[in-house]
Amino acid sequence: MTSWLALVVMLTFALAAHGDEAPRLTFAQLVDSIRANFDVTQQMKSYAGNNVEIQGFIIPAGPPDLSFFLLSRVSALGNYCCEMPTGQDETVYVFAAKGVRIVYDPLRVYRVRGVFEAGKHVDPTYGVSMFRVRDARVEVAAGAKIFRVGAPPPPPAKP
Amino acid sequence: MRYLQGRFVASALTAVSIALGVGLVIASVLLTRGVKQSFVDGTTDYNLIVGAKGSPTQLVLNVVFRMDTATPNILYRTYGYVRDDARVDVAVPVAMGDAFQGVRYVATTPAYFAAFPWRRKTFAIAAGRFFRDDVPDHPAYEAVLGADAARRTGLRVGDRFYEGEEMAEYPLTVAGILRSTGSADDQAIFFSLPSYWAMNEVARKMQIKPLTAVLIRAKRMSDLPSLHREYNVSAETQAVFPSAVLLQIFNLLTLAEDVLAMILAIVAIVVALYLFVSMYSATLERKREIATMRALGARRGTILAIVLLESVAITFLGAVLGLGVGHGIAYVGSMLLASRGGPIVNPFAVGALQPVVFGSVVIIGALAGLLPACLAYRTEVAANLAPLS
């Protein structure tokens, strides 16, 4: 009985640890990785196809079911503060897994986890993009920090 | 069945109360989900709407869903700025007008109906043709009617119409009727901007013509935040993400749904208690009858099964009736919403809801009958077959 309990506890911890394994990418890292002709650094390419975590503000540029949205370093609502959003390099195109269930708040930071893609891609519906997260799960990032361009990035994430 | 027939009135009333409870749950969920789904299905494919300063909700509800009153005007030159912006793929000007028999006038350009690879919604003509792309000096006064608009007004291709005596000089001619799109565009009368400006006394005198809004599709989605910010910091305009407004509305709907869920939970408890009390009192009344059955050879297990079956049968009948009642209430609710220009709701949507509610109710019925069944199971023959006097 005790061994069964121990196994269940170990499995639970292992699953929880597996869920937290995705390395976190910041917008500063994304910006730094961009090279000429829509290319990105090898290090950024090494994340492609793997699960990553990115935190940012949701900009609902797609349908209201949030099956597609933009994740941005800057909130879409702050009209009279912060700097202007810059565009391609600081925007991640997020294709959500079915059934995103969040309370949308334009002023909250959300944590997005999913399969990362880097480099130029042209989607028939949403056009050209540099960074994408597919099959994404979304949740509120409590106490999250958004790293600004030029600010020291967090410790390097392991691909 | 004979056992049920013995208490027909009480059993029928219990089944009816279960049916009303189930009906309330089904109708509430169908209508709230339907309203949300209607907004999702009927929303625009454009990413951004630029209009006058004011309420973003009013701008989206009016321009996309033809609800609420129109926001104040912006000037036509705003459309020019947007159209000439290198970041913009498609810009469509829209001017919201009055109404004919309650159906809203929407002035726009033929681009409103154009097909694009990114567009989910397609416009097709069911009869006639689209209105001509006329010029301000020679307005054509041609109109294209949405499918519901044509049905409601009874207008056909070639008919001329106007509402209000000041419009008698500018009757519109029906050039075409659209196929149904399943959106608010079905409930609109479309015509050209030059016709709109010529029909409006104030607009006729204006050097720079008015608009209500400009619908924008950006070349790159990543340019939307900067476009949004630029038109918002302007002193004259606001820019709105339609989905952002709808998500804020959904947040409010979720609050209402939570309150409704609590009320429905209380209704379910009341119905379950009613069923329990009904079954319990029936068992008490029938102690002598049960004792007789036992004396005639019925096993305790048989008695338990009979009472449980009675409870399940009443719940089953109530649940079946409730499904019909629920869809009936949802139908009436959807008709009321549609008649008031509200969202279009499918009252007969079938999904996981019906089997989940049905199964839950039958299980609750079985649980409510469990204690009375146990009471019947423990009925003593000798004590309950004593002479009544």
> How does pLDDT run across A44-100, given as a tens digit for each residue?
999 999 999 999 999 999 999 999 999 988 887 765 555 666 666 678 999 998 878
On chain B, the residues whose CB falls within 8 A of the CB of A124 are 117-118
Which of B315, B321, B323 is closest to B350 using CA atoms? B323
User: Chain B: which residues have CB within 8 Å of chain A?
Assistant: 39-40, 43, 47, 117-118, 218-226, 228-229, 232-233, 241-244, 246-248, 250-251, 254
pLDDT band of A17, cuts 50, 70, 90? very low
Q: Which of B118, B229, B243 sits opposite A79 (nearest CB)?
A: B229
Which ipTM score applies to this complex? 0.78
Cα–Cα distance, A136 to A133 (Å, whole number):
6
DSSP B168-212: TTS-EEEEEEEPP-SSGGGGEEEEEHHHHHHH-HHHHH-SSPEES
Q: Distance, in angstroms, between B369 CA and closest chain A CA?
A: 37
Task: Give the span between the Cα atoms of B69 and B98, in whole angstroms.
Answer: 10
Tally A–B CB contacts below 8 A: 89
Minimum distance, in Å, between the CA of residue B152 and any CA atom of chain A: 30
The whole-angstrom distance between A148's CA and the closest CA on chain B is: 17
* Phi-psi group of B207: left, alpha or beta (phi > 0 → left; psi -120 to 50 → alpha; rest → beta): alpha
pLDDT at B109: 94
What is the pLDDT at residue B207? 85
Find the closest chain B residue to A86 by CA distance.
Answer: B226
In angstroms and rounded to an integer, the radius of gyration of the C-alpha atoms of chain B is 31
Cα A116 from Cα A95, distance rounded (Å): 10
Nearest to B251 among A72, A88, A104 (CB): A104
pLDDT at B333: 92
Reading phi first (left if > 0) and then psi (alpha if -120 to 50, else beta), residue A47 is in: alpha
Complete DSSP assignment for B29-46: HHHHHHHHHHHHHHS-S-
| Length of chain A in terms of residues written | 159
Check CB contact under 8 Å for A74 and B118. no
Which residues in chain A touch residue B247, judged by CB atoms under 8 angstroms apart? Answer: 60, 64, 66, 104
Q: Taking the CB of residue B99, how many other CB atoms lie within 10 A of it? A: 16
Is the four-CA dihedral B154, B157, B160, B161 of positive or negative sign? positive
Residues lower than pLDDT 50 in chain B: none
Joined together, the tokens standing for residue B148 give 């519901």
End-to-end CA distance of chain B: 31
Contact A91 B117 (CB under 8 A): no
Q: What pLDDT score does A1 carry?
A: 46
Entry pTM = 0.81
Nearest to A129 among B222, B225, B244 (CB): B222
In order of A20, A25, A47, the CA distances from A52 in angstroms are: 10, 7, 7
Cα four-point dihedral sign B116, B117, B120, B125: positive
Lowest mean pLDDT among A18-27, A38-47, B153-162: A18-27
B118, B218, B228 ranked by CB distance to A76: nearest: B228
pLDDT of residue A60: 93
Is the confidence at residue A4, as pLDDT, over 60? no
> Does the beta-carbon distance from B219 to A127 stay under 8 Å?
yes
User: Which helix or strand (DSSP H or E) is residue B136 part of?
Assistant: none
Banded pLDDT at A9 (limits 50, 70, 90): low
CA distance B103 to B88: 31
Could you tell me which residues of chain A have a Cβ less than 8 Å from any Cβ in chain B? 59-66, 69-70, 72, 74, 76, 79-80, 84-88, 91, 93, 103-104, 106, 124-130
pLDDT at position A81, please?
56
From B43, B117, B218, residue closest to A63, measured CB to CB: B43
DSSP B135: B
CA distances to B30, B76, B262, B270 from B361, rounded to whole Å, are 17, 59, 17, 13
Query: Do the chains contact at B243 and A106, CB–CB below 8 Å?
Result: no
* Mutation to test the A interface, candidates B47, B243, B248, B250, most A Cβ within 10 Å: B243
Residue in A with minimal Cα distance to B251: A103
